[in-house]
Structure 1
Amino acid sequence: MSTGSALRVGIFVFDDAEELDVVGPYEVLAAWAALSELRPDVLTFSADGGGVRLAKGLRIVPDRSADEITPMHVLVYPGGRGTRALAHDSDHLNWVRKMRNEVSLMTSVCTGSLVLAAAGLLAGRPATTHWGAFDELAALDPSVAADTEARFVDDGDVITASGVSAGIDMALHLVARLDSYQMARQVRRAIQYDPEPPV
């Protein structure tokens, strides 16, 4: 993928976002940035640039504020308990819609899709979310074609991933899509992502 300026990926962070929804994609994308000739700019940002406390207590000081992050090519929207309030925050939903018009590729992990749905971005489209949140997704927008089996759903300009660890899979898919399959495999090897669950 060639762009006129550096390819910028922004990971939105907020209070009560799920830790791995943030850190999983960041690990993949930061490894990509280190390995790829594209040298993508991978940044975290919060609404006001201030620090946030994630769902299980991890604190993050983001790189930028929402006003400072543009232009962005890819936005990663994590899930977690904090999405419930944001899905009913009209000012935030207006910002999400604004980003839809400015960002080439919108992505979500886990219940981040609830906010995309609440903003109208998933209307009539295939999407996924955490296995325990499909009823919430349907309540927010019954027109969403929910995929309860996929680890992630790529619908062109919107990609949604199911729960938590699926964000790593989605991020590797992003690398393959924006760079190359070979680079994605190189990143996967670099971070030694080869799941063999012991249970």
Structure 2
Amino acid sequence: MAVVHRVAVLLLPPVVGFDATIPALMFDSATDADGAPLYDVVTCALSPEPVAATTGFAVVAQAGPETLATADTVVIPGTRYAPARHEGVLEPAVASALATIRPGTRIVSICTGAFVLAAAGLLDGRPATTHWKHADHLRALHPRVQVDENVLFVDGGDVLTSAGLAAGIDLCLHIIRSDHGTQVANAVAKYCVVPPWREGGQAQFIERQVAEPDHYSTAATREWALRHLDEDLTIERLARHAQMSPRTFIRRFREETGQAPGAWVRNRRLDHARELLESHQLPVDEVARRSGLGTGANLRHHLRRGVGMSPSSYRKVYQGI
């Protein structure tokens, strides 16, 4: 039997209750083809007392801080933990608990949990995100952190951060997809009744002085593009579909997604190619054609660059053949 990946969720009071529930719901919903769990999620706290939440209830953790030393992934949900939020520091007990995390363990924050990672020095020199409303404060407390409030999450390999609240769902799905492929992540998303990936970044939720009309959006064009990935999706064609000038379309697209249109299309094509490799026995050239990547050589290039594997190796990992 394969070893199940252990996820430890560290609850620091007052914890954001919604954030605290996300890892257990998402990771516990991930199973293999036989229905066996792929993750073992354990909530932990520094003491056995119930952990106060920000929304009128308390959470009883399953274990103590010793769980951190056995985890493969550690998640810190959003919190109003004052030392980190106001002073940018950690109390000795919290610092000692985090110090027990084994080298190589994946460390994840949801929402304002990023303040805890930053206070521990784990985000120095790295790109990271948090809730857009608190991004400037994180930037002021920790100038060495490259704060980007326009994205839903940042994958730094061994350290990952998500934006506010529901963006934790996006990050957990991304982690599941990275660990076990598109089909498993899509099944989790379907069970949780959320999209497999959410278009756009946090920028679309940031308060602005003047609201732009709803029709002034690239959302409909992005949905259309997903159905036409095998076609020639030039900036001009995308802008024409959105009924905008190319210049306006590019600016608005960046505001909504945090990416240039060309990079976004390439990433969606690679996502589709990965899904085809996981679920079909199509020749590599046919996968490339259907996903809009053109040739097998182009698919190989982007797959190696994106996930570090050739198409045949990727198929072997996720189909077991």
Give the TM-score range, shorter chain: 0.7 to 0.9
Q: Give the alignment's Cα RMSD to 1 decimal.
A: 2.4
**Higher relative contact order at CA 8 Å, sep ≥6: structure 1 or structure 2?**
1
Bigger proportion of residues as strand: 1
Corresponding residue of 1:143: 144
Corresponding residue of 2:212: none
Bigger proportion of residues as helix: 2
Code of the residue aligned with 2:180 in structure 1: it is: D
CA contact (8 A) 1:74 1:107 kept: yes
1:76-91 correspondence runs (5 A): 76-82=75-81, 84-86=82-84, 87-91=88-92
1:124-143 correspondence runs (5 A): 124-143=125-144
CA contact (8 A) 1:109 1:164 kept: yes
Percent identity, aligned pairs only, is 30
> Helix, strand or coil for the counterpart of 1:14?
coil
Gap runs ≥5 in structure 2? 199-321
> Helix, strand or coil for the counterpart of 1:57?
coil
Code of the residue aligned with 1:96 in structure 2: it is: L
Could you report, residue by residue, the CA deviation over 1:154-177 in whole angstroms, capped at 9, with x for unpaired residues? 010000001011011111111111
Could you report, residue by residue, the CA deviation over 1:4-44 in whole angstroms, capped at 9, with x for unpaired residues? x4310011113211111111222111211587545311111
TM-score by length of 1: 0.86
Corresponding residue of 1:116: 117
Is 87-96 or 57-66 further displaced after alignment? 87-96
Corresponding residue of 1:26: 24
Query: How far, CA to CA, are the matches of 1:143 and 1:89 in structure 2?
Result: 17
Corresponding residue of 2:9: 11
CA contact (8 A) 1:129 1:161 kept: yes
Q: Displacement, 1:141?
A: 1.8
Corresponding residue of 1:93: 95
Query: How far, CA to CA, are the matches of 2:194 and 2:59 in structure 1?
Result: 23
Q: Displacement, 1:80?
A: 2.5
Q: Displacement, 1:103?
A: 5.3
Corresponding residue of 2:47: 48
Could you report, residue by residue, the CA deviation over 1:55-91 in whole angstroms, capped at 9, with x for unpaired residues? 1122211111112453100011011322x33453331
CA contact (8 A) 1:79 1:109 kept: yes
Query: How far, CA to CA, are the matches of 2:146 and 2:38 in structure 1?
Result: 35
Query: How far, CA to CA, are the matches of 1:70 and 1:162 in structure 2?
Result: 26
> Helix, strand or coil for the counterpart of 1:70?
helix
Query: How far, CA to CA, are the matches of 1:171 and 1:68 in structure 2?
Result: 20
Larger radius of gyration: 2
Query: How far, CA to CA, are the matches of 1:33 and 1:133 in structure 2?
Result: 35
CA contact (8 A) 1:125 1:145 kept: yes
Corresponding residue of 1:106: 107
Query: What number of residue pairs does the alignment pair up?
Result: 192
CA contact (8 A) 2:66 2:97 kept: no
Query: How far, CA to CA, are the matches of 2:49 and 2:73 in structure 1?
Result: 21
Query: How far, CA to CA, are the matches of 2:104 and 2:15 in structure 1?
Result: 21
Query: How far, CA to CA, are the matches of 1:52 and 1:191 in structure 2?
Result: 25
Is 86-95 or 128-137 further displaced after alignment? 86-95
Alpha carbons of structure 1 residues 20 and 147: separation in structure 2 relative to 1, 3 Å:
same
Q: Displacement, 1:134?
A: 1.6
Q: Displacement, 1:193?
A: 1.4
